[in-house]
Amino acid sequence: MSDAETKRYYLTTAIDYPNSRPHIGTAFEKIGADVQVRFRRMEGASVFFLMGNDENTIKVPQRARELNLEPKAYVDQMAGQFKDVWHALDISFSDFIQTSEERHHAGCRKFIQAVYDAGDIYKGTYSGHYCNGCEAFKTEKEVAEGGGKCPNHPNTPLIWVEEDNYYFRLSAYRDRLLEHYLSHRDFIQPESRRNEVMSLVESELKDVAITRKGFAWGIKTPFDPDQTIYVWFDALLNYITGIGYGTDEERFRQLWPADVHVIGKDITRFHCALWPAMLMSAGLPLPRMVFGHGFVYRKNEETGEVQKLSKSLGNVVEPMDLVQQFSSEAFRYYFMSQCPFGGDGEFSFERFAAVYNADLANNLGNLYSRTLTMCAKYFEGRLDGGSTVDATQWRKGLEFEPLIGSLRELVGSFEYNLALQRIWREVVDAANRYIQETQPFKLVKTDVEATRAVLVNLADWIRVAAILIKPFLPRTAETFYRAFNFEETTPWESVGYVDALTPLNQQGLHVTAPLTEGKPSPLFPKVEVGAPR
């Protein structure tokens, strides 16, 4: 692997249907992805982070008609809303692809033609329950749910329709897929998802219909203009059309294959079976990893019941509600610290507030407050007056280098909750304990220089904490870093985990944070537990 290759990092998230607004579960995925790319950037990688919306579904023209809009106008409007939410959560995506864009259409046509030319597409007959109300086929499951009728149109009888479609020869890739899983242990992460996919591929891997007839909205099949590409086949292709496949081959070659597709556990099979088979057929390299994250469930505060987020249960929580009540930082912290990214997690307003108060207000925020206040009160913000002190004193008794090493490993492998837990226990808590043990507020009465030494150590502590939380809480981290004049040594933008290991530059060390009457304003004002909502 060349140096240039190890340094570029291409990550994608699942593209979302635009017919409903993003909820906390959708946001969970994007934040987890964002933490990873922020971390990779800190590690020196040149990152490309792709997100987008999945717009070529039958529901789009339906919904657009209801709103009296052109489909394209509708999806553009929705994409704007999605991006607003992602920006509010500080999701640092590089590009946002909409599958209604021409660049996507062009890439899709090229790709399906390549698969066709490879002989993996054949004409067949698709049959199923068709609903005239939805203008779509219903799955057996949907029919069962509706008691033999369409769940959305119970008065419209379902009809059995047979239609000529094109099929992708997925079954032909069974052995090559299994071989790939075996030779690339990391292809499907976390481990628990592997078995599921492997047993699925071993047992049943049927060819799939990849086109539908008679839809105006969607991508026309190049070898048969009466047919449009079925949503799944087209959706997966965003990962390559978003980086220039079919429109900018040079760029595509630079970025592909993806380092990781971050997706929800429900769609692992598409990404681990269908997608690699499609790529094999088209002669393209496979992504290095598919990470299937867990889901966020809603805990009902009164009954204690844990439920899936769903519109019908009315328990959907919109990210903006929490961002407005607390902050994007609080939002990011809750989900990254409380929900293991590879597994499932729970959300309740009560718990959100409890975690916010305990970890952000009382620990992190308060550490910041008390440190800066003492610097201002005892030294008027200047810590550089005395003789040079040992600023690494605080690291004694702490296995510091191994800690940084394991944090890098944990963050790099998406184990965010464990990483945050260690940062809090071993860095933030330790700092509060250090203050209690050294008692600078007492010491200042007898030994000013010793007090200065303690505060210099705390300043370094703040600096290191800033670096460690940078991928998770970018704003808070920056505030921490700008509390002192650390930027004179290393600019904030270029600070990485390695800088936590370099010693503090005490030259001219002083407080740069804005203070009002010698105090910073609270970063995380405490909230009344149980009050919100």
Partner RNA sequence: UGCGCCGUGGAGCAGCGGCUAGCUCGCCAGGCUCAUAACCUGGAGGUCGUAGGUUCGAUUCCUACCGGCGCAACCA
- Identify which of residues 144 and 501 has a Cβ nearer to RNA in the complex: 144
Does position 362 interact with RNA (CB under 7 A)? The reply is yes
Preceding amide of 287 cis, omega within 30: no
112-120, 294-302, 478-486, 494-502 -> range binding RNA (CB under 7 A): 294-302
User: At its nearest, how many Å lie between RNA and the CB of residue 206?
Assistant: 4
35-43, 108-116, 282-290, 353-361 -> range binding RNA (CB under 7 A): 353-361
Spell out the residues 6+ positions from residue 87 whose beta carbon is closer than 8 angstroms to its own: none
Does position 343 interact with RNA (CB under 7 A)? The reply is yes
Bridge-partner residues for 347, per DSSP? 298
117-125, 194-202, 217-225, 467-475 -> range binding RNA (CB under 7 A): 194-202
User: At its nearest, how many Å lie between RNA and the CB of residue 503?
Assistant: 24
Q: Give CA–CA dist 272/188, Å, rounded.
A: 7
Give the footprint of RNA on residues 472-511 (CB under 7 A): none
Taking CB under 7 A as the criterion, the residue among 64, 108, 258, 273 binding RNA is: 273
Strands 208-209 and 220-221, sheet pairing: unpaired
Does position 289 interact with RNA (CB under 7 A)? The reply is no
- Identify which of residues 253 and 308 has a Cβ nearer to RNA in the complex: 308
94-102, 107-115, 225-233, 243-251 -> range binding RNA (CB under 7 A): 225-233
- Identify which of residues 193 and 408 has a Cβ nearer to RNA in the complex: 193
Interface characters, 149-168, with RNA (x: CB under 7 A):
--------------------
Strands 211-213 and 224-229, sheet pairing: antiparallel
Does position 366 interact with RNA (CB under 7 A)? The reply is yes
Give the footprint of RNA on residues 8-67 (CB under 7 A): 14, 16-17, 20, 25-26, 28-29, 57-58
Does position 6 interact with RNA (CB under 7 A)? The reply is no
**228 Ramachandran zone, left/alpha/beta (phi>0; psi -120 to 50):** beta
Helix or strand or coil: residue 255? Answer: helix
Preceding amide of 474 cis, omega within 30: no
User: At its nearest, how many Å lie between RNA and the CB of residue 140?
Assistant: 7
Does position 138 interact with RNA (CB under 7 A)? The reply is no
Contact 276, 286 (CB under 8 A): yes
Exposure letters 153-175 (e unless 16+ CB within 10 A, then b) = eeeeebeeeebebbbbbbeebee
Does position 396 interact with RNA (CB under 7 A)? The reply is no
C-alpha angle with apex 242: 237 to 244, nearest 5 degrees?
100
36-44, 104-112, 362-370, 503-511 -> range binding RNA (CB under 7 A): 362-370
Give the footprint of RNA on residues 226-245 (CB under 7 A): 230-232
Interface characters, 310-339, with RNA (x: CB under 7 A):
x---------------------------x-
Give the footprint of RNA on residues 72-131 (CB under 7 A): none
Give the footprint of RNA on residues 412-441 (CB under 7 A): 417, 421, 425, 429, 432-433, 435-437, 439, 441
**DSSP result, 54-116:** ---STHHHHHHHHTT--HHHHHHHHHHHHHHHHHHTT---SEEEETTSHHHHHHHHHHHHHHH
Q: Give CA–CA dist 533/527, Å, rounded.
A: 12
**DSSP result, 360-395:** IIIIIIHHHHHHHHHHHHHHTTB--SSS---TTGGG
Q: Give CA–CA dist 521/271, Å, rounded.
A: 47
Taking CB under 7 A as the criterion, the residue among 63, 149, 212, 452 binding RNA is: 212
How many CA atoms lie less than 13 Å away from 347 in the CB half-sphere?
A: 23
